[in-house]
Amino acid sequence: MSEKVREFKYVSYLWDDAKAASLEGDEVALLLYRSNLLGADLRLTNYGGGNTSCKVMMPDPLTGAETKVMFVKGSGGDLGTLKRSGLAGLYLDRLLALKKIYRGLEHEDEMVALFNHCIYDLDSKAPSIDTPLHAFLPFNHIDHLHPDAAIAIAACKDGEQINRELFEGSIGWVDWQRPGFDLALKLEDCLHKNPGIRGIMLGGHGLFTWGDTAYESYVNTLEVIEKYSAYLHEHFGKSKPIFGGVKGTSLPGEKRKQQAANLAPVLRGFCSSHTRMIGHFTDDERVLEFINSQDAERLAQMGTSCPDHFLRTKICPLVLSLAPDEDLNDTEQLKEKLSPAFTAYRAYYEKYYEDHKHANSPAMRDPNPVVILYPGVGMFTFAKDKQTARVAAEFYINAINVMKGAEAVSEYVSLPLQEAFDIEYWLLEEAKLQRMPKPKPLSGKVALVTGSGGGIGRAIAEKLAAEGACIVLTDIVPERLSASLAELQQLFTKDRVMAVKLDVTGTDTIAAALQEVCLGFGGVDIIVNNAGLSISKGLLETTLGDWDLLQDVLVKGQFLVSQAAVRIMQRQKMGGDIVNIVSKNALVSGPNNVGYGSAKAAQLHMSRLLAADLGGEKIRVNVVNPDAVIQGSNIWANGWAEGRAKAYGISVDELPAYYAKRTLLNETILPEDVANAVFALTGGLLNKSTGNVLNVDGGVPAAFVR
Ligand SMILES: [Zn+2]
């Protein structure tokens, strides 16, 4: 078997003979295995891009007769994680029969609905637009991928000629055409005219390759892409410098991050003029090479080529004309400087829409840029959620790779704007968007919860994440933080949850943490000051150390975190929420509570003062007053439970029932109850309330706000 293993330099050969042998005889399993290997190497295809298929004889459930069935990746999903549930299984003879009723190019979209009449496997995923492209090629195994190296040839001026010479005619060529039934017929025609070819290049789009077996298709695909890659590498920097040569240099790494974090909230504000956006930042070296080059501005304006690229990144990025080390601190000055660029971009997009729309085109979508390039610093991307923003960045890096390759061997050619528009506003694409789930109440928002390594803070973070927010967990104890992070990422994906170590009493660590947040999500919208501790002592036992610690963590902590967050909120200019987790003890006098109760009262009054300060900027400041949350709470450590039990003359075990009984509702208060209150204040229904206190204590009349 070892003679099978080929040497590859630019792609990863991952085929495991033993693994494949264990799947022998199950062509669908082999298809999935091959697809996962292909999807694991981003040099082979972009995220979510491309599709694979196999054709296999199966018994017809109605007649028992053997019939040929094609299994092909269905609409959506990614090859790297493709499972059987992501495939569509269709009768091949029925798909081929569709050719007889096809009415021509202007009617090709109607064919998509007919694919459903060809379904063999009732558990099929919806068949994708690429289904006939696989059906009309008579090969058992087919790979359709979007490798940057191949698209570089597909998107250059002399692409067809280079392709012919490089493969001596063994890879066919079909000019750019929007994917659909008609393109499938063109592929079939190309094969008829060029019998014996090993693949077909689609101009401006991607590659089709195939084989009799899953393995043969895999190796053929790898060999072809390897050859494109090697060809590009031979040419990089040879006849001309990469991207026309270096124009500027990057700031040093740490400075880039500071500058990006400082700018991100301002950009986020601009990009959120229609819909609230989440940000992503990267200073990947491929991005820096591009944006620091002579040709960056010219190429960026030309727009991207592969449809996948511009669907994710918009037709072109916004290039900022700021010096890498520009002083970004004066918010108003900065906005004045940036505002014309955003106005011009939106106007450009509106014109693009107006110039290319058809009578039945969907309404214009958000005209703000998705990709923003800052020479010397890096690339920002903004989208309705973090995953989409991150993937947009990946796609723009794909586009950069394509432009780099195309310019090295020839001249980069972007797709004509009308073609780009017809894909972007394709009715089938619009239908896909309409099928997407409605956004949750906190979608597009970023929430930072202090002390969220466990207990109430973790419950709050989980609730806000469940309602759609991106979450920043913070805690002073690294082990608590990492445990909480792992759990919540499991529930809500790595994209949506990040963690930063934070000591709420230190300005430096607060600044460092918020820098991470701005780089991670572009800014912040909701601050929950929850970090706390408690000490139960009378006046004479309370030491100065006890007093200072409570004041530091509860009062100064709330002050410092709010101050740092409001600076970011002001730069975004999108309002915001501060929710302070205070306590019934802010209002009720009890024994042995002088230090804690005083600090809680200060937190409460500070909340009202901040509400008065920040209302003009639509930043709401509200308070949740819980009482006696025992489960999972940190404050019951440090002898607090014993202290309270002693103060009431009962045992520690009797505390929960004691607390429940003294409430009007006779309820035990759980962390989730406090979390629900935070959501109630931030979820949108109470947007006209600030300076409020919401009790979550089962009803304690002494703590009613008078
Ligand atoms: Zn494609």
Cβ atoms of 526 and 576 within 8 Å: the answer is yes
- What's the CA-to-centroid distance between 240 and ligand 1, angstroms? 31
- E strand spans, 576-615: 576-581
- C-alpha of residue 295 to centroid of ligand 1, in Å: 27
Q: How far is the CA of 678 from the centre of ligand 1 (A)?
A: 45
Cα 625 to ligand 1 centre (Å): 55
Distance of CA 59 to the CA centre of its chain: 42
In angstroms, what is the span from residue 207 Cα to ligand 1's centroid?
8
Q: Which is it for strands 619-626 and 576-581: parallel, antiparallel or unpaired?
A: parallel
Beta-sheet strand order (sheet of 141-145): 87-91, 66-73, 51-59, 141-145, 206-211, 199-202, 171-174
| 596 flagged as catalytic | yes
Cα–chain-centroid distance for residue 181? 32
Instruction: Give the separation between CA 307 and CA 265, rounded to whole angstroms.
Output: 30
Helix (H, G, I), strand (E, B) or coil at 473: strand
Residue 49 Cα to ligand 1 midpoint, Å, equals: 6
Contacts of 508 (CB under 8 A, 6+ apart): none
Task: Write out the two tokens for 509.
Answer: 């660590």
* DSSP secondary structure code for residue 362 in this structure: P
Other beta carbons within 10 Å of 362? 16
Residue identified by tokens 């994906």 is 493
Catalytic residue (one of 10, 596, 648, 658): 596
A 10 A CB-CB count for 419 gives 18
Pairing of strands 378-383, 371-374: antiparallel
| Residue 219 alpha carbon to ligand 1 centre in Å | 20
Q: Describe the crossing of helices 214-235 and 159-167 by its angle, rounded to 10 degrees.
A: 120
CA of 408 to the centre of ligand 1 (A): 23
Q: How far apart are CA 484 and CA 287, in angstroms?
A: 33
DSSP letter at 195?
Answer: T
Give the separation between CA 129 and CA 75, rounded to whole angstroms.
8
Query: What pLDDT is recorded for position 5?
Result: 55
DSSP 486-542: HHHHHHHHHHHEEEEE--TT-HHHHHHHHHHHHHHHSS-SEEEE---------TTT-
The tokens of 669 are what? Answer: 């208060």
Task: Give the Å distance between the CA of 130 and the centre of ligand 1.
Answer: 7
Instruction: Decide: 297 and 319 in contact? Cβ < 8 Å.
Output: yes
Rounded distance, CA 448 to CA 561, Å?
10
Q: Give residue 221 CA to ligand 1 midpoint distance, Å.
A: 15
Coil, strand or helix at 419? helix
Q: For residue 33, how far is its CA from the centre of ligand 1 (angstroms)?
A: 20
Question: What distances in angstroms separate CA 502 from CA 506, 557, 560, one per listed residue?
Answer: 8, 10, 12
Residue 269 structure tokens: 């504000």
How many angstroms is it from 405 CA to the middle of ligand 1?
Answer: 19
Q: One-letter amino acid identity for 106?
A: E
Calculate how far, in angstroms, residue 307's C-alpha sits from the geometric centre of ligand 1. Answer: 8
Tokens of 704: 């009613």
Across the chain, which has 706 residues, the per-10-residue mean pLDDT values are 67 95 96 97 90 97 96 93 96 97 93 95 94 98 97 96 97 95 97 97 96 97 97 94 96 97 98 97 98 96 83 92 96 97 97 96 96 98 97 95 96 92 88 86 98 95 98 96 97 97 96 98 98 93 97 98 98 98 94 95 98 98 90 67 84 85 91 97 97 95 86
Neighbours of 254 (CB within 10 A): 8
Spacing, Cα 209 to ligand 1 middle (Å) = 12
Distance of CA 479 to CAs 454, 483, 639, Å?
10, 6, 22
Give dist(CA 105, CA 111) in Å, integer: 10
Question: What is the CA(546)–ligand 1 centre distance, in A?
Answer: 65
Question: Three-class SS string for 632-663?
Answer: CCHHHCCCHHHHHHHHHCCCHHHHHHHHHHCC
Contacts 24+ apart (CB under 8 A), 224-227: 224/150, 224/167, 224/171, 224/198, 224/199, 225/10, 225/11, 225/43, 225/44, 225/145, 225/147, 225/149, 225/150, 226/8, 226/9, 226/10, 226/11, 227/166, 227/167
The kind and range of the H/E element at 374 are strand 371-374
Identify the CA nearest to 225 among candidates 474, 401, 28. 401
Q: How far is the CA of 287 from the centre of ligand 1 (A)?
A: 24
Ranges of beta strands (E only) in 146-277 are 171-174, 199-202, 206-211
Phi, psi of 543 (to 5 degrees): -85, 165
CA pair distance 269, 574, nearest whole angstrom: 6
pLDDT confidence of residue 209: 98
Distance of CA 309 to the CA centre of its chain: 15
Give the Å distance between the CA of 183 and the centre of ligand 1: 11
Distance (Å, rounded) from C-alpha 698 to C-alpha 670? 10
Q: Which residues of 637-665 are buried (b: 16+ CB within 10 A; e: fewer)?
A: eeebbebbbeeeeeeeeebeebbbebbee
pTM: 0.93
> Amino acid identity, residue 658?
Y
Q: How much is the pLDDT for 433?
A: 81
48 C-alpha to center of ligand 1: Å? Answer: 10
Q: Ligand 1 mean position to 317 CA, how many Å?
A: 22
Instruction: Please give the distance, rounded to the nearest whole angstrom, from the Cα atom of residue 425 to the centre of ligand 1.
Output: 17
Count of helix runs (H) and strand runs (E) in the chain: 26, 18
Tokens of 496: 């949506």
**CA dist., res. 168 & res. 166, Å (int):** 6
